[in-house]
């Protein structure tokens, strides 16, 4: 990498900044840049490149690397990522050509919150001036050669990409192609010289630390519908994120338009009401030179359905392929069980996760928002970590959070935060707290204390700011936007659902988060050996808890508001005295029964409710909620054909249609946090709070509900952990594998081990049962694979 600023010799090049009009679309075409140079025999060549806006680089007609949307999203005023590519094999001894294309991306393009800014889009979120910074370092047999971006590059401002924007889409005019523009022989005598901006002030250049956005899968259409003559709707069969590759043929000037949507309207047309100002529209203008394959690159869409109009040819399924893009984090989890809808639910969770990992963790991939909303990531982080290796992705995002922290310590509601950090959209309880909770999740799962050390001061500033404004230990001042337990039962408008009273009292909710973040911070201080802070923040956490009890808890364990959410929060964050906990758990169960075994919780408390039901022995109720087919429930959406997680329980209700359309995403992961419960209870794979990162593994599978078997695994940082169980005629068979150099404690779902099996045959009886706790046999296991058979009671 280039570690110091002085290691960079390149200059920011591009076109002169163009003023933009208000309105859609007001995007100037993507500039093309090129330079030829000659080289001796090449031994090794490394290309360092970044841009304001997005870039693609070509060498001798071939695209460099497989990154998409590079250099990805950071607060460009503070940090700009650069990418490094080994291009040794792409250069030739002799003449070579470098080419680059630039587009708006997050830098100059539309961004969620900026839609509320009246000057937008004239201003751009970070700037409008798209520029390239490139340094090619070649080791040749004659020494080192360096090619940099400078004013010797040539520029062409009217290339085939006539406009590209993440929300709006891309317009590609094949008639404007410059054949061979990125090869040596091209005649660029008509091209201008690139301009250099030597005064440009940008953020620190840093190497990209997380997996790049790449094409991670392809999807082929399952069906073509034709609601009107000449209007074709391709059903991809899967709500996905990315774009389409399409093969087109037609007369010159033919405009083929692709519009993308997640659902169909009642009349069979494309449903786009939930997109806000995002158009999700790509256009290809043909040049009449035979069949060609097109695909946009500087935009992305959330869609299951693609409406294609303007075709000169007959639509057929083979002409179109869905290109799925995501930050390419490796898969770590697997899950399967006897219940097909629960399997589908887990598939939906994973699709939703991938679709919302486009450089940063977004709330949704389709409407004009797509922000790194912190509350959503906070609740989903643990599920995300089971599914994919999130270490690098979240480590990068934590820096985005830090970059967005306000001067007084407030964390943002979303990161990156393209506003001035001191402006609105900061410090919302349950959102801002992600600045403490997500690093803590990384530590719990991956054991990396460096993250905590790097982030320590920042977390402390966040807690101190709340304390400063709230000397009475309730988080009632400096609370920023009051979102609360987002999209809880009270926001459901379907007729057959009684108003649930699901809304947890706001001050109870905010103070619960204050207590939780403070106690996590105290634990972190302890881990890092900061004794004075440990004492001070443990004391603060105790005071908040005491106040919480005075204000919201009655002597019989009942909580103010008597909501499912309130009990779930208080139990999950350990806010109640020991003696009241089981009683509060009983009230929590009552609150579930009161609503006919339905969920009235919102984003933040739903997973907590599920986990607390299990923790206090009400597995049957947790299973009942999970398996519930009637509305509102997870499986209700599956029965409606969902292939991703919906933002709202009632996003679409058969008898009523769509929920309010301006906030109704079909690809929103927050309620998918139930994945955490599934991994931790159906499979029973858990880390040990006291020995993080799976050095000691807790295995607590709980067969329940109508499930007869389940199996799955987690690729922990210490190796593969696998669990499988099967219920059969009064017995349960349990198999586990424990990686090398770890130990595990297995809680068998039985009070005794009938037999230990090897190759299906019983061997010595009951060798490792240590004790029976809550009716469960507890076994301490070393690494290896084990099979047990026990009576299932």
User: What is the smallest separation between the CB atom of 632 and ligand BGC, expressed in angstroms?
Assistant: 17
- Listed in sequence order, the DSSP H helices in 470-557 are 506-527, 531-552
Stretch 69-108: interaction string toward ligand BGC, x if CB under 6 A:
----------------------------------------
Does 483 sit near ligand BGC (CB under 6 A)? yes
User: What is the smallest separation between the CB atom of 667 and ligand BGC, expressed in angstroms?
Assistant: 11
User: What is the smallest separation between the CB atom of 243 and ligand BGC, expressed in angstroms?
Assistant: 22
Does 439 sit near ligand BGC (CB under 6 A)? no
Active site residue 137: no
Q: Which residues pair with 62 in a beta bridge?
A: 59
Quick one: CA dihedral 391, 397, 402, 406, positive or negative?
negative
Cα separation, 349 vs 343, whole angstroms: 10
Taking only Cα atoms into account, the Rg of the chain, rounded to an integer number of angstroms, comes to 28
Active site residue 647: yes
Binders of ligand BGC in range 648-707 (CB under 6 A): 663
User: Whose Cβ is closer to ligand BGC: residue 327's or residue 488's?
Assistant: 488
User: What is the smallest separation between the CB atom of 482 and ligand BGC, expressed in angstroms?
Assistant: 9
User: Whose Cβ is closer to ligand BGC: residue 483's or residue 567's?
Assistant: 483
Structure-token pair, residue 94:
């002799």
Instruction: List the strands of the sheet with 94-103, edge to edge.
Output: 62-63, 54-59, 94-103, 32-39, 154-156, 192-193
User: What is the smallest separation between the CB atom of 663 and ligand BGC, expressed in angstroms?
Assistant: 6
User: Whose Cβ is closer to ligand BGC: residue 181's or residue 300's?
Assistant: 300
Give the list of residues 6+ apart from residue 452 with CB closer than 8 angstroms, or none.
439, 440, 443, 524, 527, 528
Does 425 sit near ligand BGC (CB under 6 A)? no
What torsion do the CA atoms of 123, 125, 127, 129 make, to the nearest 10 degrees?
Answer: -90
User: Whose Cβ is closer to ligand BGC: residue 486's or residue 792's?
Assistant: 486
User: Whose Cβ is closer to ligand BGC: residue 382's or residue 716's?
Assistant: 382
Only one residue has tokens 């998918």, namely 672
Does 282 sit near ligand BGC (CB under 6 A)? no
Give the list of residues 6+ apart from residue 71 with CB closer than 8 angstroms, or none.
49, 50, 51, 54, 55, 80, 81, 82, 83, 208
Question: Which one from 54, 137, 369, 676 is the annotated catalytic residue?
Answer: 369
User: Whose Cβ is closer to ligand BGC: residue 155's or residue 377's?
Assistant: 377
Does 486 sit near ligand BGC (CB under 6 A)? yes
Give the list of residues 6+ apart from residue 194 with CB closer than 8 angstroms, or none.
13, 14, 15, 33, 149, 151, 153, 154, 155
Cα separation, 330 vs 328, whole angstroms: 6
User: Whose Cβ is closer to ligand BGC: residue 377's or residue 723's?
Assistant: 377
User: Whose Cβ is closer to ligand BGC: residue 303's or residue 483's?
Assistant: 483
User: What is the smallest separation between the CB atom of 363 and ligand BGC, expressed in angstroms?
Assistant: 4
User: What is the smallest separation between the CB atom of 426 and ligand BGC, expressed in angstroms?
Assistant: 12
Cα separation, 244 vs 306, whole angstroms: 8
In contact, 538 and 557? CB cutoff 8 Å: no
Binders of ligand BGC in range 336-365 (CB under 6 A): 363-364
User: Whose Cβ is closer to ligand BGC: residue 534's or residue 603's?
Assistant: 603
User: Whose Cβ is closer to ligand BGC: residue 211's or residue 369's?
Assistant: 369
What are the Cα distances from residue 392, in Å, to 377, 388, 398? 15, 11, 10
Stretch 605-644: interaction string toward ligand BGC, x if CB under 6 A:
----------------------------------------
Binders of ligand BGC in range 362-421 (CB under 6 A): 363-364, 369, 373, 375-376
Give the list of residues 6+ apart from residue 300 with CB closer than 8 angstroms, or none.
69, 166, 241, 242, 243, 325, 358, 365
Only one residue has tokens 């660029």, namely 188
Cα separation, 258 vs 315, whole angstroms: 12
What torsion do the CA atoms of 226, 232, 238, 241 make, to the nearest 10 degrees?
Answer: -160
Buried b (16+ CB within 10 A) or exposed e, 320-348: bbbbbbbbbbeebbbbebebeebebbbeb
User: What is the smallest separation between the CB atom of 396 and ligand BGC, expressed in angstroms?
Assistant: 20
User: Whose Cβ is closer to ligand BGC: residue 364's or residue 580's?
Assistant: 364
Q: What is the DSSP string of 344-402?
A: HHHHHHHHHHHHTEESEE-S-SSSS----BHHHHHHHHHHHHHHB--HHHHHHHHHHHH
Pairing of strands 169-173, 281-285: parallel
> How many Cα atoms within 13 Å fall on the side-chain side of residue 620?
2
Quick one: CA dihedral 430, 506, 662, 236, positive or negative?
positive
User: What is the smallest separation between the CB atom of 572 and ligand BGC, expressed in angstroms?
Assistant: 19
Question: Which one from 72, 211, 307, 647 is the annotated catalytic residue?
Answer: 647
User: What is the smallest separation between the CB atom of 676 and ligand BGC, expressed in angstroms?
Assistant: 18
In contact, 69 and 213? CB cutoff 8 Å: yes
User: What is the smallest separation between the CB atom of 240 and ligand BGC, expressed in angstroms?
Assistant: 19
> How many Cα atoms within 13 Å fall on the side-chain side of residue 351?
26
User: Whose Cβ is closer to ligand BGC: residue 364's or residue 591's?
Assistant: 364
Q: What are phi and psi of 579, to 5 degrees?
A: -60, -30
User: Whose Cβ is closer to ligand BGC: residue 373's or residue 497's?
Assistant: 373
Closest CA to 541 of 522, 567, 561: 522
Residues binding ligand BGC: what is the number (CB under 6 A)?
A: 9
User: What is the smallest separation between the CB atom of 423 and ligand BGC, expressed in angstroms?
Assistant: 16
Region label for 244, one of left (φ > 0), alpha (ψ between -120 and 50) or beta (otherwise): beta
What are the Cα distances from residue 222, in Å, to 25, 238, 434? 32, 9, 39
Structure-token pair, residue 327:
């930050």
User: What is the smallest separation between the CB atom of 465 and ligand BGC, expressed in angstroms?
Assistant: 20
Closest CA to 415 of 385, 389, 394: 394
* Catalytic residue list: 369, 647
Contact set with ligand BGC (CB under 6 A): 363-364, 369, 373, 375-376, 483, 486, 663
């Amino acid at each position: 990498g280039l570690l110091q600023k002085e290691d960079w010799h390149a200059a920011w090049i591009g076109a002169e900044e163009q003023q933009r009009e208000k309105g859609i679309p007001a995007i100037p075409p993507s500039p093309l840049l090129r330079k030829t140079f000659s080289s001796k025999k090449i031994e090794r060549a490394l290309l360092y490149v970044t841009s304001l806006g997005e870039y693609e680089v070509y060498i001798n007609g071939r695209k460099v690397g497989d990154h998409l949307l590079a250099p990805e999203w950071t607060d460009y005023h503070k940090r700009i990522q650069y990418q490094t590519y080994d291009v040794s094999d792409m250069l030739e001894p002799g003449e070579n050509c470098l080419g680059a294309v630039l587009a708006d991306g997050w830098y100059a393009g539309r961004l969620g919150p900026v839609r509320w800014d009246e000057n937008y889009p004239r201003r751009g979120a970070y700037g409008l001036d798209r520029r390239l910074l490139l340094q090619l370092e070649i080791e040749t047999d004659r020494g080192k050669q360096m090619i940099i971006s400078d004013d010797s590059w040539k520029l062409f401002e009217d290339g085939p990409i006539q406009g590209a924007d993440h929300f709006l889409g891309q317009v590609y005019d094949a008639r404007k192609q410059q054949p061979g523009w990125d090869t040596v022989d091209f005649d660029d005598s008509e091209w201008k010289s690139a301009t250099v901006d030597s005064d440009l002030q940008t953020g620190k250049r840093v190497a990209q630390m997380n997996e790049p956005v790449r094409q991670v899968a392809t999807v082929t259409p399952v069906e073509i519908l034709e609601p009107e003559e000449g209007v074709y709707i391709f059903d991809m069969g899967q709500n996905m994120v990315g774009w389409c590759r399409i093969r087109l043929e037609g007369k010159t000037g033919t405009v083929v338009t692709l519009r993308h949507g997640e659902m169909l309207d009642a009349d069979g047309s494309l449903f786009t009401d939930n997109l806000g100002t995002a158009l999700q529209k790509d256009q290809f203008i043909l040049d009449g030179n035979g069949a060609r394959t097109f695909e946009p690159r500087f935009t992305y869409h959330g869609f299951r359905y693609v409406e294609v109009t303007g075709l000169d040819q007959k639509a057929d399924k083979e002409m179109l392929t869905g290109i799925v893009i995501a930050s390419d984090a490796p898969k770590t989890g697997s899950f399967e069980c006897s219940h097909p809808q629960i399997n589908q639910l887990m598939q939906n969770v994973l699709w939703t996760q991938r679709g919302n990992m486009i450089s940063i963790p977004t709330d949704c991939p389709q409407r004009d928002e797509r922000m790194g909303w912190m509350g959503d990531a906070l609740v989903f982080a643990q599920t995300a970590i089971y599914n994919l290796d999130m270490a690098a992705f979240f480590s990068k995002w934590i820096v985005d959070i830090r970059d967005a922290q306000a001067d007084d310590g407030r964390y943002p509601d979303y990161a990156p935060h393209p506003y001035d950090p001191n402006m609105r959209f900061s410090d919302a309880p349950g959102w801002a707290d992600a600045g403490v909770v997500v690093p803590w999740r990384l530590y719990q799962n991956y054991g990396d204390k460096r993250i905590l050390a790097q982030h320590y001061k920042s977390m402390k500033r966040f807690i101190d700011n709340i304390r400063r404004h709230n000397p009475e230990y309730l988080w009632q001042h400096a609370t920023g936007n009051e979102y609360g337990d987002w999209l809880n039962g009270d926001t459901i408008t379907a007729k057959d659902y009684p108003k649930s009273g699901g809304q947890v009292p706001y001050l109870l909710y905010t103070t619960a988060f204050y207590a939780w973040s403070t106690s996590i911070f105290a634990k972190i201080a302890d881990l890092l050996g900061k004794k004075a802070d440990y004492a001070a923040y443990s004391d603060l956490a105790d005071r908040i808890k005491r106040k919480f009890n005075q204000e919201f808890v009655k002597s019989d364990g009942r909580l103010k508001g008597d909501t499912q959410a309130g009990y779930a929060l208080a139990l999950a964050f350990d806010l109640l005295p020991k003696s009241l906990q089981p009683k509060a758990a009983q009230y929590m169960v009552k609150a579930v029964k009161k609503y006919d075994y339905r969920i009235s919780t919102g984003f933040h408390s739903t997973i907590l409710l599920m986990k607390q039901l299990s923790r206090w022995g009400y597995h049957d109720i947790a299973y009942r909620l999970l398996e519930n087919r009637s509305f509102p429930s997870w499986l209700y959406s599956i029965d409606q054909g969902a292939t991703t997680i919906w933002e709202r329980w009632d996003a679409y209700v058969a008898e009523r249609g769509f929920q309010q359309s301006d906030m109704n995403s079909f690809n929103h992961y927050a309620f998918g946090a139930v994945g955490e419960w599934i991994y931790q209870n159906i499979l029973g794979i858990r880390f040990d709070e006291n020995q993080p990162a799976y050095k000691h593994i807790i295995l607590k599978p709980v067969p329940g509900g109508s499930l007869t078997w389940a199996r799955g695994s987690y690729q922990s940082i210490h190796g593969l952990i696998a669990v499988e169980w099967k219920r059969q005629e009064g017995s349960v068979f349990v198999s586990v594998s424990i990686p090398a150099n770890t130990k595990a404690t297995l809680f068998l779902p039985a009070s005794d081990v009938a037999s230990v099996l090897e190759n299906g045959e019983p061997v010595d009886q009951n060798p490792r049962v240590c004790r029976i706790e809550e009716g469960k046999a507890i076994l301490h296991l070393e690494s290896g694979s084990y099979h047990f058979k026990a009576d299932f009671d």
